[in-house]
Structure 1
Amino acid sequence: MPQIVIENLFNLRINSTHVNRKVIELIHENGTDWMHACGKKGRCTTCKIILRSGAENLSPPSKPELDFLASGRLKAGERLACQAELHTGEIIVRVGQYNKFPHVKYSE
């Protein structure tokens, strides 16, 4: 069963019965706010996740992600939540400092 753990949201666990879904869709369906400025189209990096573990459970990087990696707008271990699909298993992620909402309380 796919599962997302968001470390700096007090280890919030999001379980899903759906496979091959975009990470941001699973987060939003759980009722958790997650930033996205381009309408989830892979045109910006505001939905960035910092991947702590579970990369093998995600789809390969998309063309927009590879372009952002090449330009330095994404670093190794960072993915776009609007592009990365969670196939199965668990991923552990963090919200980046610059991608935090002011109205959400984060843990560190």
Structure 2
Amino acid sequence: MPKAKVTFEDIGVSVTVPAGTRLIEVSEKVGAGITYGCREGECCTCLTKIVSGGENLAPPSILEDQVLKDNMAPRGHRLACQAQIIGGELVVKPA
């Protein structure tokens, strides 16, 4: 199974995870500062800045895209509960 490297800039921790993992799952395991309320992609509390490696995430779902637009999320931000890592390297930090 392909692997990916995720770095949480806020705590200075990098981990290797299987492709297909969602950012929120990794954040919970390493104790990063990404907060969340619902895990369903509707509330926008887990908004996360993608510092680099955004191409290593699956494209936003229709739901995530709409929630980002409705909440006027800045470019380069994703919902950690919805953002699925597909490989490569990624650097993120809480928004």
Instruction: Give me the TM-score of the superposition, normalised by structure 2.
Output: 0.85
| Percent of aligned positions that are identical | 31
Farther off after superposition, 69-78 or 58-67 = 69-78
User: One-letter code of the match for 1:48?
Assistant: L
Aligned residue in 2 for 1:77: 76
SS of 1:3's partner is strand
Instruction: Report the CA distance between 1:73 and its aligned residue.
Output: 3.2
Q: Distance between the aligned counterparts of 1:56 and 1:22, measured in 2?
A: 14
Structure with the larger strand share: 2
Q: Write out per-residue CA displacement over residues 16-54 of structure 1, whole angstroms, 9 at most, x where no aligned residue.
A: 2x111111112223344531111x000111111100110
Q: Write out per-residue CA displacement over residues 66-102 of structure 1, whole angstroms, 9 at most, x where no aligned residue.
A: 1123224322100001001001111111112xxxxxx
* Cα RMSD (Å): 1.6
What is the number of residues matched between the two proteins? 93
8 Å CA contact 2:57–2:86 kept in 1: the answer is yes
SS of 2:75's partner is coil
8 Å CA contact 1:57–1:86 kept in 2: the answer is yes
Structure 1 unmatched ranges of 5 or more: 97-108
Aligned residue in 1 for 2:53: 54
Q: Distance between the aligned counterparts of 1:35 and 1:3, measured in 2?
A: 21
Aligned residue in 1 for 2:8: 6
8 Å CA contact 1:27–1:33 kept in 2: the answer is yes
8 Å CA contact 2:34–2:48 kept in 1: the answer is no
User: One-letter code of the match for 2:90?
Assistant: I
Aligned residue in 2 for 1:26: 26
